Amino acid sequence: MKLNLFDRAVLTLAVLFLGVIGLRPLFTPGVARAQEPHTRYYFEPGIRPILSPDRTRQIRGGKIVVDLTNGNIWGFPTADDVPYPIDQVNPKPAISTPIYLGKFDLAATLKNQ
């Protein structure tokens, strides 16, 4: 099969464009980010007592979760010393409904730099 002028031009352009795509990272490398959070939520280690801000609910044990995007703090009630919710009566998996505890003002940390 013999290539005519049009086929050669198309192949040459394809090779040039692929070369540009392949060599672009050498001339404009990506931004390096150290210790960027991989998740949106931070789960506090251990079990903590949870007290609602209006002081109407107090739970002996639960997990504290911080939303790293907006600073909201949530408490997920669990059993006394267990890191996950347990329903003593029902054999189905239990669901823990979060309690809003407060907020960290993460934007204030950027103002002081």
Question: 75 pairs with which residues across the strands?
Answer: 64, 99
Looking at the domain assignment, is residue 55 inside a domain? yes
Q: Residue 65: pLDDT above 90?
A: yes
pLDDT tops 90 at residue 84: no
Report the domain count for the chain.
1
What is the residue range of 62's domain? 41-106
Give a yes or no: residue 111 inside a domain. no
Q: What pLDDT shows up at residue 57?
A: 80
- In the predicted structure, residue 110 carries a pLDDT above the cut 80: no
Report field, pTM of the whole predicted structure over 0.75: no
Exposed, middle or buried, 3 (CB in 10 Å: 0-12/13-18/19+)?
exposed
What is the structure's pLDDT at 16? 94
Instruction: Please measure the distance between the N-terminal and C-terminal CA atoms of the chain and give it in whole angstroms.
Output: 67
Is 88 part of any domain?
Answer: yes
Beta bridge partners of 62: 48, 77
The answer, yes or no, to whether residue 9 has pLDDT greater than 90, is yes
Task: Quote the strand ranges of the chain, DSSP E.
Answer: 41-43, 48-51, 58-67, 72-77, 99-103
Please tell me which residue, 49 or 1, carries the higher pLDDT value: 49
